[in-house]
């Protein structure tokens, strides 16, 4: 008798609950086999009251085995092409809104701060970095129905608001950011070249270096320093990519 069970086929098919669970799982130390099994349980999105589904899931695992089941969700391990953000509860009585899908409305100043904070968390696993990351990415709407502008000077105060979020939610925000960042990076292969031997790269990166890059663009195509740092991140990297292409085309002088 055939047993049918549907699971998501890509990252953007996951609901916020599944993203939170996966983010939490990726932050724990478990054997590969146990992780494979727990990922399967997360993907089938089984709730405690769904006894019929519970029996079906365990019957499938017994009949097929987790090694064969894993072939149906290899996309989880290949790349995190997650381009949406999870919603979060109200903070200070206000609904906080994340960037648009693919961080398409993020300015380069926001991206630079978010990237440095993500790097800081990656290196230290200190959740305080994620309080700040959430404060950069999530903001309330202004009178114009758009997210209020990013303000570096308010970041310390606003980061305190996000201490109320659970570690699971904070890790999910980090996972969402990484997926969105990867999408932007893949669109600009010259700006973000992949190392030829990634397994040999051991040095920890302390900063994205984007702050200095933004400063170097000031007074150029995007205008003053304030105008440059408020440029859309995609627009900024598109221009930088073109500049690097043109530099490669120029003949080398003896």
pLDDT tens digits, 136-155: 999 999 999 999 999 999 99
Query: What is the sign, positive or negative, of the torsion defined by CA atoms of 38, 41, 44, 48?
Result: negative
Taking the CB of residue 234, how many other CB atoms lie within 10 A of it? Answer: 18
Question: Which backbone phi and psi does 122 adopt, to 5 degrees?
Answer: -60, -40
Q: What is the pLDDT of residue 249?
A: 78
| Dist. CA 173–CA 237, nearest whole Å | 23
Question: Which backbone phi and psi does 141 adopt, to 5 degrees?
Answer: -85, 145
Using CB atoms within 10 A of its CB, is residue 40 exposed (0-12), middle (13-18) or buried (19+)?
A: buried
* Residues of the chain falling short of pLDDT 50: 1, 254
Q: What is the pLDDT of residue 199?
A: 58
pLDDT tens digits, 117-140: 999 999 999 999 999 999 999 999
| Dist. CA 153–CA 156, nearest whole Å | 7
């Amino acid at each position: 008798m055939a047993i049918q069970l549907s699971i998501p086929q890509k990252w953007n098919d996951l609901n916020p609950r599944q993203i939170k669970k996966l983010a939490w799982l990726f932050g724990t130390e478990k054997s590969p086999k146990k992780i494979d099994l727990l990922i399967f349980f997360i993907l089938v999105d089984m709730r405690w009251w769904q006894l019929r589904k519970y029996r079906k899931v365990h019957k499938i695992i017994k009949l097929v085995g987790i090694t064969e089941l894993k072939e149906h969700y290899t996309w989880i391990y290949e790349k995190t092409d997650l381009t949406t953000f999870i919603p979060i509860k109200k903070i200070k009585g206000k609904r906080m809104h994340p960037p648009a899908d693919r961080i398409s409305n993020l300015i380069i100043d926001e991206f630079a701060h978010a990237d440095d904070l993500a790097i800081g968390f990656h290196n230290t696993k200190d959740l305080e970095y994620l309080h700040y990351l959430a404060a950069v990415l999530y903001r309330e709407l202004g009178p114009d129905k758009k997210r209020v502008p990013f303000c570096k000077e308010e970041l310390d105060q606003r980061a305190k608001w996000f201490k109320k979020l659970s570690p699971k939610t904070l890790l999910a925000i980090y996972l969402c950011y990484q997926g969105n960042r990867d999408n932007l990076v893949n669109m600009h292969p010259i700006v973000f070249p992949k190392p030829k031997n990634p397994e040999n790269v051991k040095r920890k990166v302390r900063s994205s270096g984007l702050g200095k890059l933004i400063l170097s663009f000031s007074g150029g195509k995007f205008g003053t320093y304030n105008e440059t740092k408020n440029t859309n991140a995609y627009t900024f990297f598109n221009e930088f990519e073109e500049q690097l292409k043109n530099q490669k085309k120029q003949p080398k002088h003896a």
